[in-house]
Structures are given as C-alpha cells and as structure tokens.
Structure 1
Amino acid sequence: MDFEFWNNCWVKPTQPFHLTKPHHFLTEYFSGYFADKKRVLLPLCGKTQDLNFLANNGIKAVGVEFNPRAVESFFEDSQLTPEITSFDNKARYQATNIEVWLSDFFNIHQDDIGQFQAIFDRAALVALPPEMRSEYAKHLLSFLAPQGRLLLVTMDYNVEQMSGPPFYIDKTEIAQLFPNTHIKQLARASIIQSHPRWRELELSRLDEVLYEIHLKTV
C-alpha cells in the first residue's frame, strides 16, 4: 500500500471515499446481517461513520486504521474522548461500543481482537494494489468466525477511464482471493454522482457492488 498517498489524502478536507453518514449498504442490510451481532469488524476504517452507526445500535464496532490523522479525526468529529492504550507498534482507542486500533492491519491478530460473526469491508480491499490483495484476503478471513458473514463492497468501472484507487475488482478475482467460500452478489448501486471528483472524471459508470462471503463447511 502507498502509505504516503493515503497520508496525503487525509490531509485534504474532503475525499470521495469518505462519507459523512453511514454507508448505504450497511444501513440497508443492517437488519439482515448485523442487527443480531455483538461485534462487527471494520478493516481499514478511516474515520467512517459506520462505527457510530453500529455503536448507536448497541453493537461493538471494532475498526482498524493505520493513519493517525484519520483515527484522531474520527473521535474529534464524533465528540468522543477515547481511552488510549499503547502496545508495540499499535494503539487501541476505546469509547462506548467503539474500539479502533491504530495499526497496520497485518499487525493485528486474533489475539488482539478475536473473531467476528460479521465483517464489513467497505473500502479496504479496493484500496489495495494487486500484489497485496491475496495476503490481505487471507488475513481478513482469519477474523471470520466459522458461521460468520463478510460483506464486501467492490468498485465496477471502465478501467480505461480510471486506474484507481479505488481499484476495479470483479467477481472472478474475488473468487480467487477468497477460495473455499460461497460468494453471492447482493446489490449494485451507482455512485457516479456522489462526489465532484467522480463527476470530473466523466466516467461512463461507477458502481459499488456488494457481495456476501462465507466459509464453506466441511
């Protein structure tokens, strides 16, 4: 991952990948996939309002984010004063029903955060270059409980018009990244009008695609 690129992104006041409200797929599929869960994992969470949405609905939201500006901005914007515990190369920020780990995602393990019945990857996989995706997918699945569900959001666009990030990822690649799983497309939505940056690019299409992924039983 280009850490400098993302650090520069977080310096800017607005970003097309950051939403000021919970993600529409999270709210739309909340009752079917998240409402009965005690804890939900949000990898590479930035300063997403998904954390607050889950917490306000009585669910422990656990996020992992490597950029300190994003983590600190989340708590400032949310008017929350977290309890901070530092470890080797990582720190845990805790508030009511919210736990955010400031760390490289690959430095977080089950011993730190356990397993989850639900994971919501809204903007993590699509932020990673091809050479990092396989390792990321394997690491992500290590946090998924045997009967759990991963809801994954990908981006669909004409690669001749934009190179990413966010990167184009189709179902064929998802099947390669997540072997021994069942993969189902749940929804598709155009976001081409959601931010001035996307409109400036004059893309022919820009869709978010939501997949449900769960482990195959032996």
Structure 2
Amino acid sequence: MHDEHDHDNPWRQRWREGRIGFHQDAAHPALVRYWPTLGVAPRAKVLVPLCGKSLDMRWLARAGHPVLGVELAPEAVEQFTAQSQEGVSRYRLPGFEVTRQGTIELWCGDFFHLHIHQAFELGAFFDRAALIALPPATRQRYAFHLAQLVPPGVEGLLIGVTHENDGEGPPYSVRGKEIEALFERNFAVTCLEETGPDARGVAEQVWRLTRRGPK
C-alpha cells in the first residue's frame, strides 16, 4: 500500500527550498468562475486536500465558507498564516497539528489519515493541486479516500493538468480518461472547461464532481 509519505521527502524539500512554482498569488480563475454554479450551501464547510498555502482558501472563506485544509508540509502552513495579520490558534488532534486562522483550519499531516469522524459536516470540496501532486500508484487511493470523506450529494471542483512530458511532476499530467476512471464509480463527473496548452505546453481542465448516493 502506498502512502502519502512515499513522496514526503521530495515534496517537503521543495517547500524548504522555495521551489513552489505550482503556487499562485491569486485565487484560481476557475474557482471564481464555477463555484457559484455548484449547488453548495452558503455556509457549507469546504475540504481543500493537499492545500499548500493556496489563496483559494481565503477566497472561499470570504465567500462565507469554513475551510478545512489538509497539508503535509508545516512550512506551507506557516507561510499561509503569515499572509494575514489575523490571530492564530493551535491545537492537536490524533495525527494532525491544527492551525486555525479565522474560519480556516489547516490540518498539518497525512491526508490519508484523515478519518470521516474528523471531517464531519463537509459540504463541498476543492481540489486544485491534490490529485496532480500524487504519483500514479497513489491516485486510486486518493479518489477512494475522498469518496469516503464526503457524503452523497456533496459537490466539488477538481483542476486537472496535462503537459507534454506525462511522466514528469509534480504537478503530474493526469489525462481526462484517467480522471473519469478514478472517480466515476463514486462521483458523477463532468468536464466544465478545458484550456489549450500555454507557452509551457501545459493545459488545464476543470471538473465538477458530485458524490453519488448508495446504489
């Protein structure tokens, strides 16, 4: 069984060395464009797996959502909270060091150790950089674990990336057919948008995922 810690060292090394070219200095345009089209309740809690220091979490908080971000690298958590003057509180839960700032909770630890009884009351999710951060052997486990955490009817957005060198990453290139194969057992999967390759040969896809109910 693969674990998120299989790639702990190189990922942590990227944060320590500041090699985080995957980080963006604004909320993702697809989040701003498509989030209002989902059927997410106004104050629903949003899960953001492998969240890094993404400003998407601040956008979601300003939109009225409590946020539960899960991140392996403590450097990312510290850099995120340093972006704001708002006060910070810290506490410990089994398997996680939790940092709270406003309505955003950052759980520092292994996403695969997050249990459903800890992630209660989740009403939506946003995956901007989780699936594409994982090597192929771990993606099936991720898709299954996400399905275990969110109740039927819960919706979310997932950002996929494809690039010319499929084997390189993170972020890894994950083709649309793989995304459908990974999630369609437990989610209704719809591609909302696909952008053409940019100057680096990188294309993005925006996916809407809706958790299916019991069959």
TM-score range, shorter chain: 0.7 to 0.9
Is 1:101 matched with 2:107? yes
Q: Are residues 170 and 149 of structure 1, via their aligned partners in 2, closer, same or farther at CA, if it must alter by over 3 Å?
A: same
3-state secondary structure, aligned to 1:54:
helix
**Is 1:77 aligned to residue 83 of structure 2?**
yes
Matched AA of 1:187? E
Give 1:191 shift.
7.0
SS in 1 for 2:195: strand
For residue 87 of structure 1, what is the aligned residue in structure 2? 93
**Equivalent residues of 2:46, 2:124 under 8 A apart:** yes
Give the superposition deviation at 1:214.
1.6
Alignment of 1:52-67 (within 5 A): 52-67=58-73
Whether contact under 8 Å (1:37, 1:118) holds in the other structure is no
Corresponding residue number in structure 1 for 2:142: 136
C-alpha distance in 2 between matches for 1:148 and 1:128: 23
Equivalenced residue count is 207
One-letter identity of the residue aligned with 1:121: D
Is the 1:115–1:143 contact (alpha carbons within 8 Å) kept by the matching residues of 2?
no
Q: Distance in 2 between matches of 1:20 and 1:148?
A: 28
What's the counterpart of residue 198 of structure 2?
A: 192
Bigger CA drift: 166-175 or 123-132? 166-175
Q: Distance in 1 between matches of 2:94 and 2:176?
A: 37
Contact 1:115 1:142 in 2 (8 A): no
Contact 1:182/1:215, CA 8 A, preserved across alignment:
yes
207-216 vs 62-71, which moves further: 207-216
Residue aligning to 1:152: 158
- Cα root mean square deviation, aligned: 1.9
% same residue: 31
**1:214 aligned counterpart, secondary structure:** strand
Separation in structure 1 between the aligned mates of residue 15 and residue 154 of structure 2, nearest angstrom: 32
Unaligned runs of 5+ in 1: 194-202
Deviations 1:169-216 (A, max 9, x none): 1222122212243211001235735xxxxxxxxx4x211111112233
TM-score, normalising length: structure 2: 0.88
Q: How many Å apart are 1:20 and its aligned residue?
A: 1.1
**Greater mean alpha carbon deviation, residues 143-152 or residues 130-139:** 143-152
- Separation in 1, partners of 2:138, 2:119: 22
TM-score (norm 1): 0.87
For residues 130 and 66 of structure 1, the distance between their equivalents in structure 2, rounded to whole angstroms, comes to: 19
Could you say what secondary structure the match of 2:169 adopts? coil
Contact 1:85 1:92 in 2 (8 A): yes
Shift of 1:47: 0.5
AA in 2 matched with 1:43: P
Between the aligned partners of 2:112 and 2:160, the Cα distance in structure 1 is 21
After TM superposition, the structure 1 = structure 2 runs for residues 32-43 of structure 1, keeping only pairs within 5 Å, are: 32-33=37-38, 34=40, 36-43=42-49
Question: Of 27, 31, 37, which residue of structure 2 is paired with 1:26?
Answer: 31
Aligned: 1:213 with 2:183: no
Which residue matches 1:122?
128
Tell me the CA shift for residue 140 of structure 1: 0.9
Gaps of 5+ in 2: 1-5
Q: Match of 1:183, as an amino acid?
A: V
Determine the C-alpha separation between the residues in 1 that align with 2:146 and 2:90: 24
Range 10-19 or range 57-66, more displaced: 10-19
